[in-house]
Amino acid sequence: MSTLISFHRIAHDTFSSFLRSLDGSFLLGSEDVVTRISLWWEHVRALVVVPVFKFLVALCLIMSVMYFAEVLCMGIVVAYVKLFKRKPEKDYKWEAMEDDDVECSSENFPMVLVQIPISSITFEIRDNRNGFKAGALREAMKHSYVKQCDYIAIFDADFQPDPDFLHRTVPFLIHNPKLALVQRRWEFVNADQCMITRVQEMSLSYHFTVGQQVGSSTFAFFGFNGTAGVWRISVLTESGGWNGQKTVEDMDIAVRATLRGWKLQKETWRVKSELPCSFNALRSQQHRWTCGPANLFRKMAGEIIRSPHPT
């Protein structure tokens, strides 16, 4: 508080001296007025502007060092994963499900709910669009058939999962009770369509190969991509379900699950999808992806700091 008071007094005294210096300036020549203003500006620059810019430079240097340390750490982890060929099966238990037991064993073949929240297929419809995608997912979870399912697989309408998607993904959740999510990597079928799609492909490939790979390999947090993933339904319920008030409902649910001690895992197997090929679609998507996490952090920063499970 004393620092703020001192800063206020300096600004007040500086402005007051400027006003006093202008007293009678109309009786002086224009050169005297310019000289007085120049002297006042030198005084303000020395007391206010220079310290502020020094603080900003120091802040930028600190952030640059933090960013360099993060990139260096991620590079080491990625090199370790590539060098020792660390696959998800080495970090988490995985056993293939037996096809012979499909008719007689619900334990080996659990019920999986598949949701396509953005689709033209009419299966379950709402009379409103409240909450958009999160609202559609939350509304679908209210149906009675959800109680028969253990897991939920989510796809956007432009995704093309392979026939063995669940056979490869669900065993991770069956054999690892602390695992909440299995996220599949995206593969883009229209990456070479135009310059916009090529740039997106490079950016997202770095996100999957480095960002999410490091988070999964170090058992740390990484955000759910909103599609091509399988969730444990009990975790969604425990974490409060889908929140239609957040623009990034996928990252929001991943944060809340992680704060409760659950683990997230990324697979190297890929799911085909499409990239926005127009500038307007790309701008809208990037605006949501950029502003959404910032607003989410602003709303959940206190809960993240107080969490006993920091990652």
Q: Which two tokens stand for residue 228?
A: 């091509």
Name the most confidently modeled range: 60-74, 215-229, 281-295: 60-74
27 pLDDT band, cuts 50/70/90, is very low
CB 232 within 8 A of CB 181: yes
Mean pLDDT value across the chain: 79
Entry pTM: 0.70
**pLDDT higher than 80, residue 211:** yes
Which pLDDT does position 122 carry in this prediction?
A: 45
Round to whole Å and give the CA distance between 136 and 262. Answer: 24
Q: Could you count the other beta carbons within 10 Å of the beta carbon of residue 107?
A: 9
Mean pLDDT within 282-299: 87
Round to whole Å and give the CA distance between 279 and 197. Answer: 10
256-276: pLDDT as tens digits: 998 888 988 887 788 999 999
Which pLDDT does position 297 carry in this prediction?
A: 86
CB 161 within 8 A of CB 267: no
Lowest-pLDDT range of 105-114, 141-150, 175-184 = 105-114
Q: Choose among 268, 221, 258, 274: nearest CA to 82.
A: 268
Length of the chain: 311
Contacts of 110 (CB under 8 A, 6+ apart): 149, 150, 151, 170, 174
CA angle 167, 205, 195 (to 5 degrees): 125
Which pLDDT does position 121 carry in this prediction?
A: 47
Cα 116–chain centre separation: 21
pLDDT above 90 coverage of the chain, percent: 20
